[in-house]
Amino acid sequence: MSEIFTLFGDGGSRGNPGPAASGFVVYKAESESSDSTGKNPTGGLGSHKLDLNNLGQKIISASKFLGDTTNNQAEWQALTLGLKAIMEYCVDNKLDSKSIEIEVFMDSLLVVQQAKGVYKVKNLDLKSHLTTLRELQGSFKATSFYHIYREFNKVADSLVNECLDGQA
């Protein structure tokens, strides 16, 4: 029996590079069924349906100031920080991470396509994030990645902006 966690991640920098932050929010599905009839925010990149009104219980929400870095670094950090937080949640709540399926939603098409292996990661600074991602993926039953429009990623986006505003 597996549980479904939904991770929304976002990163941003003010300037590129510039002051940057990452934010993420994780929901735990109320049931094991991921079938929904909600609006499809994936921009035509798949048939996955996401019901934004029925994501389940919010279990984790966090942001982190990263100092000066690029937007891509901040996006990748959001992904890896979110997955690490799910691992910590599993440990703290005595859950077997191998029974967890994670659906990741991000508005960075580049990061989603790189995480899926569709695009190569050429930047040496970003390759370490891909290595970390692959290690983390091995800890879970499954991970899937979906690109969404920015308007559907408002919670993670607001965490990034609040964190950056707090540093100003």
Query: pLDDT of 41-60, one tens digit each?
Result: 544 434 456 787 888 999 99
At 50 the pLDDT is 75
Say if residues 105 and 148 touch (Cβ distance below 8 Å): yes
What percentage of the chain carries pLDDT values higher than 90?
81
Domains of the chain are 3-167 (3.30.420.10)
pTM of the model: 0.89
At 125 the pLDDT is 87
Integer angstrom CA distances of residue 155 from 15, 142, 158, 160, 161? 22, 24, 5, 9, 10
At 54 the pLDDT is 86
Q: For residue range 49-108, list pLDDT tens digits in order.
A: 678 788 899 999 999 999 999 999 999 999 999 999 999 999 999 999 999 999 999 999
